[in-house]
Structure 1
Amino acid sequence: MTQARYDVVAIGNAIVDILARADDAFIAANGMTKGQMQLVFSPEEADALYAKMGPGQEVSGGSAANTIAGLAALGSTCGFIGQVADDQLGQVFAHDIRAAGIRYDTDARPGAPTTGRCLIFVSPDGQRTMNTFLGASHYLPAEALDRQLIADSAYLYLEGYLWDPEEPRAAMRAAIDVARAAGRKVAFTLSAEFVIDRHRAAFHELIDGGLIDLLFANDAELISLAQTDDLEAAIAALAPKVPLLVVTLGPEGAMAIAGGERTTVTAERVDAVVDTTGAGDLFAAGFLHGQVQGRSLGDSLRLGAICAAECIGHMGPRPVADLKTLAGSLA
C-alpha cells in the first residue's frame, strides 16, 4: 500500500443551505416536525416553502461537505465528490468548497434539476428543522468518481443521506470497491433515522460484509439500525461488527468503542446554543482529524466535541472560529 496523498475524501450531497429563524408555531403550521429533516420532492414545493421564509443566509452545506470543511479547517488534506447543476447555486457551492482548500473536480451537470438546497428553520432554542430538495446531487454517476483521488486518500467518508437515490448509491458502492482495493479505510455516517428505515438491510449488508471500518451514529440512529429500544443493546449488537463505532449523545457527550473497549467524552460547554445545524458533521470532522493524525480515541473524541461546540454557537453548519486555535495541541 502506497502512502496516502490525502487524509480524507468524502462523497455526499452537494447542496446549499438557506437558513432562517422561525418559531415553533410556524414550523407546526407548515406541517414540519421540529428538529427533523424531511425531503422535498419537487422544485415547486421547495420554491413555495422558500417564499414563506423570513430573512435568511445562504451557506454551502451538505452533511459530508460540512465534515470535509471542518477537516480542512483543522489542517487535514481533503477532497470532495458531489454533483451540482450548472447554475448560480452550483457556482456558490463550488467556490466555497474550493476556497476552503478542498479539492473539488466534479463537473457541473447541465440542465434540470437545479443544484440541491436545504431550507433550514432555526427555532429559538437552536433546534433546526430541515427541508431538503436534493436536486442535481441525486444524479451523481459512478463515471464522475475520481478513482485516483479515492485510492490516494487514507479515508473514504460516505454520508447515508446520499444512499437514498439509486445513481449515487451505485457510485458509493463503486467508491468502496476502489478504497478497499487500495487498502484504504471506509467511514460511514448513518445520517438520519428515515434513511435507516429505507435502507436498513443494505446498511447491515455493508457492516456484516466488513466494508465499514468506522461507523458514525447518534444514539437514536444506532437504536433504529439495531431495531431495539435500548442503546446498550444496540451497542452490543453492532460494536463487534465494525472495527470502530462512534456514537454521539448530544449534550451527554460521545463514545467510541473499539476492540470491546469503550472511551467516552463529555460535551464541551457553550454559552448558548444558537443553531445545531451541522453539529454531528463537525463532530465527525474533529474525530476523523484526530484519527488521521494518529491521536488516541480519547483525543479524537475531544477534538470532535470541540468542533461540535463551535458549530452550535452560531448560525450555519460550517466553522466560523479558527478550529486550529480552539483545538490547540490536539490539532
Structure 2
Amino acid sequence: MIFFDRTMEYLQDIYAKVIGYGSGVINYNAPRKVVAFGNVLLDHTAQLPNDETELLERFQIPAESKGELDAEILAKLAAEAAERAQLDVNPGGSALNTVRILKQLGTDALFFGAVGEDKTAEKLKEILQEREIETRLVTVNDVPTGQCVCIVNKDTKAKALYANIGASAKLSVDHLRKAHYDDTQPFLRPIERKQILYIEGFFVPQRQEVCDFIVRNYIKERRRLAINLNAEYIIRDNFQPLRQLVRAAFFIFGNRKEHMTFAAELGFDTIEAAAKHVIEEFNTPKVIVVTNGRECVQLITNIEDEYSMPGEIAFQSFHVPRVDEVVDSTGAGDAFVAAFLHAWLEKRSLTECVRVASDVAAKVVTVVGCNLP
C-alpha cells in the first residue's frame, strides 16, 4: 500500500509538470535544481556543400575549428552564409544549450547571462519566451549581444564554429549580488537540498572574479559545482582559473581532446594520470566524464553515488549508441551534460547517467543544431 501511494504521488507530480493536472502546484518562483552560468548567444547555423569551401577560405577559417571573431567580421560571415543557405537561428551558448535540453527532458533549469540593448537581444528573448526557457538576463548598454556562426560541411561533416560573446563578458559579481538579494526571485535552494550550479568553460575568460564568487559563496553541502572544459584554447589560455574550478567541482565534463589538453597543462601524458592526480590532490568526491565522439565514454570517479564518501578511484569505459547518419554534432556535448545531470537528479546510478546521456547525445546529432528530434 505504501508503494502504491508513493507511485501515485510520483505520477501526479509528472502530470502536474506536463499538463498542470493533479494535486501538485508548480511554483515558478521556486529555485531550480540546475542553475547555469554562461555566454548567451544568438546562434546561426548553415549547412554548405563541399564545393562551397571558398567562403571559409576567404575568411581564413579552417573547416574544422572553433574560436572567437571580431563582431563585425562575424556579422559579415553570417550574412554571406545566409546568401548560400537557409540559416537555422536558435538561442545558443554551451550552458544555454544544456538548459534548453534539460527543459525538454523535464528538468527545469535557470540560466544566468548578459545581453546588449539591441535587436539581437530582442530576437533572443522572443525565442526564449516562446520555448519557456527560464533566464535571468542582465541588459548591458553600449555592448552588442553575443552571436555565434556555425558552418557545417554537408559532405564531410566538418564544423567551423566561431563566436563573439559581446555583452556576455559584462556579467559581474554586482549582478549576482543583486539577484541573490532579490527575495521575489530566489535561485538558491537550501544547502541541504540537492542543486547543481553549472559553469561552462567559455564563461571563464574575463569573469574569473564571478567564478570565484560563485564557488566561494554558493558551493557547499548538497549544492554541487559542475563544469565543462569546452575547448582546448580555453584551457590553454585560462588554465589557472579553470584549475581552481576543477578543484571545487563535483562533475567535470569534456571531450578527449579537452581532457588531454588539461592533462598536458598539469604536466601529465595521459588523461588517467591527470585525473588520478586531481582526485588524490583535492581528496574530494569527483565525477570526471570524458566523451570521445562515437568511440566511447570514459568515467573516472572516486564515489559510487551522491552519499558515498571518497574511496578508491574507478576507471570505466562505455560503448556509445551507433548513429548511422550524423547530420550535425553541434551541441552534442552540451546535450550529453544535460542528460547526465538530469539522470543524476533523478537518482540514477553513474552508469545509468552515462547511458542516458549517450542516448540523448546520439539523438541530437541527427538534427541541425542542439535540439532533440
> Same-fold call, TM > 0.5?
yes
Give the secondary structure class of the aligned counterpart of 2:79: helix
Task: Give structure 1 stretches of 5+ with no counterpart.
Answer: 322-331
Give the whole-Å Cα distance in 2 for the aligned partners of 1:16 and 1:84: 10
Give the whole-Å Cα distance in 1 for the aligned partners of 2:202 and 2:251: 17
Letter in 1 for 2:94: S
| Structure 2 match to 1:327 | none
Aligned partner of 1:282 among 313, 318, 335: 335
| Structure 1 match to 2:270 | 230
Give the whole-Å Cα distance in 2 for the aligned partners of 1:267 and 1:34: 26
Letter in 1 for 2:290: V
For residues 78-227 of structure 1, the aligned pairs below 5 Å read 78-110=109-141, 112-124=142-154, 125-145=156-176, 146-147=179-180, 148-151=186-189, 154-165=195-206, 168-181=207-220, 183-207=222-246, 210-227=247-264
Give the secondary structure class of the aligned counterpart of 1:191: coil
Letter in 2 for 1:178: N
| Structure 2 match to 1:308 | 361
Which string of whole-angstrom CA distances, capped at 9 and with x for unpartnered residues, describes residues 64-97 of structure 1? 0001111111111210101111222212322333
CA contact (8 A) 1:150 1:175 kept: no
CA contact (8 A) 1:11 1:172 kept: no
Letter in 1 for 2:276: A
| Structure 1 match to 2:45 | 19
Give the secondary structure class of the aligned counterpart of 2:339: helix
Letter in 1 for 2:254: A
For residues 233-272 of structure 1, the aligned pairs below 5 Å read 233-240=273-280, 241=282, 243-259=286-302, 260-272=313-325
Aligned partner of 2:347 among 289, 294, 304: 294
Q: Please provide the CA RMSD for this pair.
A: 2.1
Give the secondary structure class of the aligned counterpart of 2:317: strand
With over 3 angstroms needed to count, the CA separation of the structure-2 counterparts of 1:293 and 1:266, relative to structure 1, is same
With over 3 angstroms needed to count, the CA separation of the structure-2 counterparts of 1:144 and 1:318, relative to structure 1, is farther
Letter in 1 for 2:75: D
Give the whole-Å Cα distance in 1 for the aligned partners of 2:131 and 2:223: 24
Q: Higher relative CO (CA 8 A, sep ≥ 6), structure 1 or 2?
A: 1
Give the whole-Å Cα distance in 2 for the aligned partners of 1:67 and 1:18: 17
Letter in 2 for 1:238: V
Deviation at 1:181, TM superposition (A): 4.6
Deviation at 1:5, TM superposition (A): 4.1
Give the whole-Å Cα distance in 1 for the aligned partners of 2:187 and 2:45: 32
With over 3 angstroms needed to count, the CA separation of the structure-2 counterparts of 1:5 and 1:270, relative to structure 1, is same
CA contact (8 A) 1:115 1:136 kept: yes
CA contact (8 A) 1:151 1:179 kept: no
Deviation at 1:99, TM superposition (A): 3.8
Letter in 2 for 1:118: C
Give the whole-Å Cα distance in 1 for the aligned partners of 2:314 and 2:269: 23
Which string of whole-angstrom CA distances, capped at 9 and with x for unpartnered residues, describes residues 254-292 of structure 1? 122211123332222223111111010000011111111
Give the whole-Å Cα distance in 2 for the aligned partners of 1:268 and 1:105: 35
| Structure 1 match to 2:100 | 69
Letter in 2 for 1:184: R
| Structure 2 match to 1:60 | 91
CA contact (8 A) 2:38 2:112 kept: yes
CA contact (8 A) 1:150 1:178 kept: no
Give the whole-Å Cα distance in 1 for the aligned partners of 2:278 and 2:49: 38
CA contact (8 A) 2:173 2:210 kept: yes
With over 3 angstroms needed to count, the CA separation of the structure-2 counterparts of 1:91 and 1:278, relative to structure 1, is same
Give the whole-Å Cα distance in 1 for the aligned partners of 2:211 and 2:189: 13
Which string of whole-angstrom CA distances, capped at 9 and with x for unpartnered residues, describes residues 284-319 of structure 1? 011111111110111111111111111111111232
Give the secondary structure class of the aligned counterpart of 2:219: helix
Give the whole-Å Cα distance in 2 for the aligned partners of 1:266 and 1:239: 24
Letter in 2 for 1:52: E
Letter in 2 for 1:224: T
Radius of gyration: which is bigger? Answer: 2
Give the secondary structure class of the aligned counterpart of 2:46: strand
Give the whole-Å Cα distance in 2 for the aligned partners of 1:169 and 1:45: 27
Give the whole-Å Cα distance in 2 for the aligned partners of 1:30 and 1:158: 31
Give the whole-Å Cα distance in 2 for the aligned partners of 1:287 and 1:256: 12
| Structure 1 match to 2:59 | 30
Deviation at 1:50, TM superposition (A): 2.3
